[in-house]
Structure formats: structure tokens, C-alpha cells
Copies of this chain bind each other. A is one copy, B any other.
């Protein structure tokens, strides 16, 4: 659903990764040759856990989930991706992908081969900075998530999840108040570490309280204030912080800054 609202220029130079590079390009230093965009459909896989690490990707439209499966087939979702997000950083650790990536809806990605990436990293200080920043941000995001699982109740975690999504949509110029969930409740439950039933019940509860309105996959945030309040219930000073820190859910997004 994101794809409709966001108008991409057809040239890949307008991807966020290359936007980092454009400032250099104006210096005449840099040439990134992205591979052509490629379209994937719901349920299709970009790469699988264990497969060789050959490229980095930027999601241009649609959405995806990263997950690793624990051989019994059980999967743990580690994050969701939205347009502009950089995908594939997991490959650097062992030159092999550490998790699998699957699309939640029809999506398009562009890619850059590792070799070219490495080459460019050597040439562009701006790219280096961007990548370090991006990875650092990803680490902090994971820690935030860890924090929220450790310290929050299920209700707070769900509230945070919704607010995070809202922020991510807003950053992309979409509505932060009304949006669709491209993932199933099962995915949400898996990601947040709770039972599907709990998700269901809590969404119901929030709806009854008039804080949100849920129609199938469509979410309408009627009262972001109160949703945010639940995160800081007894901690007034904490409120401001949360508002700042709320942008995660993997997000290795590069620019848009």
C-alpha cells in the first residue's frame, strides 16, 4: 500500500542510498551503478538464511520482514522493512546471510553488489559515514526493542509498535494516523514476543477505549496522545524521550534525513 502514495522517480539515483552519494557525485567523485529494479510479490524471498552474501538492497516500495528460522521451522521475526530501508547488512558478519527476507506485499528493490559497495566505501567518505550511522542506528534500535520487551507490559509493547509504525509512515510522507498493517497478527505476535490471542485482545481493548480503530488490517490512531501516555504512565519525565526514541523496528534507513 505504501507504493501507491510514494512517487519514485524511475531512476535509481533517487534511491536513498544514492542520495547519500549524490552529494559526492556533485564533486564528480562517485558513480554508483545500481542493478535494475526488480519486483517481488507477496511471500517471495529476497534471500535466505545461509545463502551467500552478494549484494545490498534498498527497498523502494512495499514491505518485507526479516526472520531467522530455528530449523524446526519456527521463525523469529527480527524486523520489518519499509521503503527507503537498507537491507542486507546482516551479511557482513559471516559473508552469508544471517536471516531470511520475505516480502509482505508486492514490492520493488534495487541492489548494489558487495564488490561495488566495497569499492565505493573506499572512495566515498560520505557513504562510509552514512553506513556507520545506519548500522549504529540499527544496533540502537535493536537495543530499544530489547528494552521494550524487558520492561514493558504487552499493552505497552503493542502501543509502542503502533507508534513506531506511525512514525515510520510519517517519515515517509504518509499518514501517521491511518495506515494498513501489511503483516498478519501472527507476524506481529511473533515480533513482539507474545501470543496472537493477546494481540487480538489488546487491539480490542484499545478500540473499546476509543484510542484506536481497527478494521481488519486497517489501523486508525484516534488518540496518539493517550497511546503514548500508556508508555510512560507513571513516568512523566520519560514522556519526551519516548517521543524521540520511538523510531525503530529495524530501520536501517539511510537518508530521508
Contacts and interface: CB of A to CB of B under 8 A. Distances in A.
Interface of A: 68, 70-72, 74, 76, 78-79, 89-93, 98-99, 118, 121-122, 125, 128-129, 131-133, 135-140, 142-143, 145-147, 149-151, 190, 192-193, 235, 237-238, 241
A70 B135 contact: no
B193 A91 contact: no
Given A193-B149, A238-B70, A140 B93 contact: yes
Given A70-B241, A136-B135, A146 B147 contact: no
Nearest to A193: B150
Q: How many subunits of this chain does the assembly comprise?
A: 2
A67 to B, nearest CB: 10
Contacts of A72: 235, 237-238
A118 B128 contact: yes
Identify the interface centre among A70, A121, A129, A190: most chain B CB within 10 Å of its CB.
Answer: A70
B133 A125 contact: no
Contact of A135 (B74, B91, B139, B241): B139
Given A93-B137, A128-B128, 6 more contacts: A70-B238, A92-B132, A93-B136, A93-B140, A99-B143, A118-B125
Contact of A145 (B79, B92, B146): B146
B140 A98 contact: yes
Contacts of A93: 133, 136-137, 140
A235 B90 CA distance: 25
Q: Sorted from nearest, which 5 A-B pairs have the closest CB atoms?
A: A150-B193, A142-B142, A92-B136, A93-B136, A92-B132
A111 B52 CA distance: 34
Contact of A139 (B71, B129, B138, B192): B138
Contact of A149 (B70, B91, B140, B146): B146
